[in-house]
Amino acid sequence: MKKVSLLIFTGLLVGCSILGKEEPLPLYTLKSETFEPTNALSAPLAVDLPVTEASLNTSRIAVTPAPYQRDYIADGQWPEQLPKVLQVVLLESLGQRWGGTYVNRVGAGLQAKYILQTEIQDFSVYHINEGCPEIHQKITFKLIDLRERNVLAAQTFSQTTPALSSTMRGLVEAFNKGLHCLLEQAVPWMEDIFSKRTRS
């Protein structure tokens, strides 16, 4: 009799566990747009995992409803933590631009001359409840000469992109468009640094 009771009790626990499960959020990702290839980079570059503060170091898609306040979208999320998603976009974009054999992630066995370190300072939705959402992106890029162990240059780039709608599709499209525009600022800046190193 005790065995039967134990089985029923266990079944009730399992049933409660199943009923209490939350549905997973739909996944949205960032994609690299096409960059025209150049030979501006003539030495291997390793892309480090971006760093950021705690509220952005998550797979949740961030909203900034007011200064010093952070919230998250309830209808979707990134497939991984934001720094990992951004690192993939950087690898794809810079690989397209400078050649995949020259660009890899830190720790992938590449004997790199340069390291790209980035810090995500903002990557969130503004004015989402006011009918005119905007995507604000702000990222600091730092180029390091690994062999000489010194910082070559550092620069912060920012981009504000209006979203066509407050739907998930509209917001994610604005995230992607804004990130590409930001990279279109950062890539020529890095190429200028490489060019100066080649001439010196």
The pLDDT tens digits for 113-129 are: 999 999 999 999 999 98
Nearest alpha-carbon partner for 86 in 113, 46, 49: 49
pLDDT higher at 21 or 34 = 34
What's the pLDDT at 16? 38
| Domain boundaries, given as residue ranges, for the chain | 27-199
How does pLDDT run across 46-61, given as a tens digit for each residue?
A: 999 999 999 999 999 9
For the segment(s) 27-199, the CATH number from 3.40.50.10610, 2.40.30.30, 3.20.20.140, 2.160.20.60 is 3.40.50.10610
User: How many helices and strands (H and E) does the chain possess?
Assistant: 3, 8
Question: Residue 9 pLDDT > 60, yes or no?
Answer: no
- Global pTM reads 0.86
Check: CB of residue 81 under 8 Å from CB of residue 103: no
How does pLDDT run across 60-103, given as a tens digit for each residue?
A: 999 999 988 999 999 999 999 999 999 999 999 999 999 988 89
